[in-house]
């Protein structure tokens, strides 16, 4: 069975990484600080199933600079996840904004796409990214409809989160994402378990397949056709 590629994950436990390698699940590892980048870089050297995105996550905006992450950003497939967070983050929003703006400018100047973390700041980020000249990936969108419409109008890619079976906001993203802009993600198996609890799949391949099946049903689309679109979008973002 063709695996569903994972457009956004964090390096997990050894068994999870081994499962990704064993089943050929191409996976973009998101790195928000130097320690995460070093771990992802090591995994990329171990197996070609892994690629990495790198940038300063808003959670680390008070302790990590753009310069700290630049060695990995220079070679990353995409810059991110970057953005703003007013829900799960204690870092002052003004500090987050300055770093987000600097990373947007850095990515634009170097022809790199970005991966967005938007929690609680969807409307502001949708405004700030208008006119950004390179691909934009909105990771696990679960915000309001107005900002979703703005991201769609900008031609953003949307990664569908693992709670698409039960989260109305994620379901809206799954229904509305164009064929050429839809992707799937686990955010790592710890995130799958956080989102779904006892109903969570036990491995990334099953989690991704469940999301694909749920999204296909919402779209009235064949899972096989949706898989072709999503995996093709993943490869296009990586320039493959």
For the beta sheet containing 182-184, the strands, ordered from the edge strand earlier in sequence to the opposite edge, are: 6-9, 27-31, 50-54, 78-83, 114-117, 136-138, 157-160, 182-184
pLDDT at 1: 84
Question: What pLDDT is recorded for position 182?
Answer: 98
| Cis, bond preceding 61 (omega within 30 deg of 0) | no
**Bridge-partner residues for 30, per DSSP?**
53
pLDDT at residue 129 in the model = 98
Q: Which pLDDT score, from 0 to 100, does residue 15 have?
A: 93
Structure confidence at residue 85 (pLDDT): 97
Residues 16-68: tens digit of each pLDDT:
999 999 999 999 999 999 999 999 999 999 999 999 999 999 999 999 999 99
For the residues 138-150, what does the mean pLDDT come to?
Answer: 97
The domain 6-237 having CATH identifier 3.20.20.140: the answer here is: yes
- 156 pLDDT band (50/70/90 cuts)? very high
Q: Spell out the domain ranges in the chain.
A: 6-237
165-215 pLDDT, tens digit each: 999 999 999 999 999 999 999 999 999 999 999 889 999 999 999 999 999
User: Cα(155)–Cα(145) distance, rounded to whole angstroms?
Assistant: 15
pLDDT at 217 over 80: yes
In this predicted structure, the answer to whether residue 76 has a pLDDT above a threshold of 90 is yes
Per-residue confidence band for 221, with pLDDT thresholds at 50, 70 and 90: very high
Instruction: Dig out the tokens for 38 from the structure.
Output: 């070093």
Expressed in angstroms, the distance from the first to the final Cα of the chain is: 21
Q: Please count the other Cβ atoms lying within 10 Å of the Cβ belonging to residue 14.
A: 8
Q: How confident is the model over 229-238, as a mean pLDDT?
A: 97
pLDDT digits (tens, 9 = 90+) for 102-120: 999 999 999 999 999 999 9
Q: What is the dihedral of CA 174, 175, 177, 182, to 10 degrees?
A: 40
Cβ contacts of 237 within 8 Å, gap of 6 or more: 7, 77, 78, 113, 135, 137, 157, 183
What pLDDT score does 12 carry?
Answer: 81
Q: Is the pLDDT of residue 240 over 90?
A: no
Lowest mean pLDDT among 8-17, 121-130, 183-192: 8-17
pLDDT value at residue 132: 98
């Amino acid at each position: 069975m063709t695996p569903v590629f994972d457009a956004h994950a964090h390096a997990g436990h050894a068994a999870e990484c081994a499962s990704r390698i064993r089943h050929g699940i191409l996976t973009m590892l998101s790195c928000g600080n130097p320690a995460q980048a070093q771990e992802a870089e090591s995994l990329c050297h171990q197996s070609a199933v892994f690629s990495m995105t790198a940038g300063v996550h808003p959670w680390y905006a008070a302790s990590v600079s753009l310069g700290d992450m630049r060695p990995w950003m220079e070679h990353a497939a995409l810059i991110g996840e970057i953005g703003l967070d007013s829900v799960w983050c204690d870092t002052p929003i003004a500090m987050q904004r300055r770093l987000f703006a600097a990373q947007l400018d850095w990515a634009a100047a170097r022809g790199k796409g970005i991966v967005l973390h938007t929690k609680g700041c969807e409307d502001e980020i949708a405004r700030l990214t208008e006119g950004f000249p390179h691909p934009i990936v909105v990771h696990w969108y679960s915000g309001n409809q107005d900002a979703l419409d703005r991201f769609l109008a900008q031609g953003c890619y949307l990664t569908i989160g693992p709670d698409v079976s039960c989260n109305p906001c994620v379901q809206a993203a799954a229904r509305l994402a164009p064929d050429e802009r839809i992707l799937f993600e686990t955010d790592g198996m710890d995130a799958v378990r956080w989102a779904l609890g006892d109903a969570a799949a036990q491995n990334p391949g099953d989690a991704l397949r469940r999301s694909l099946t749920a999204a296909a049903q919402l779209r009235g689309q064949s899972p096989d056709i949706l898989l072709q679109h999503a995996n093709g979008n993943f490869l296009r973002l990586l320039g493959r």
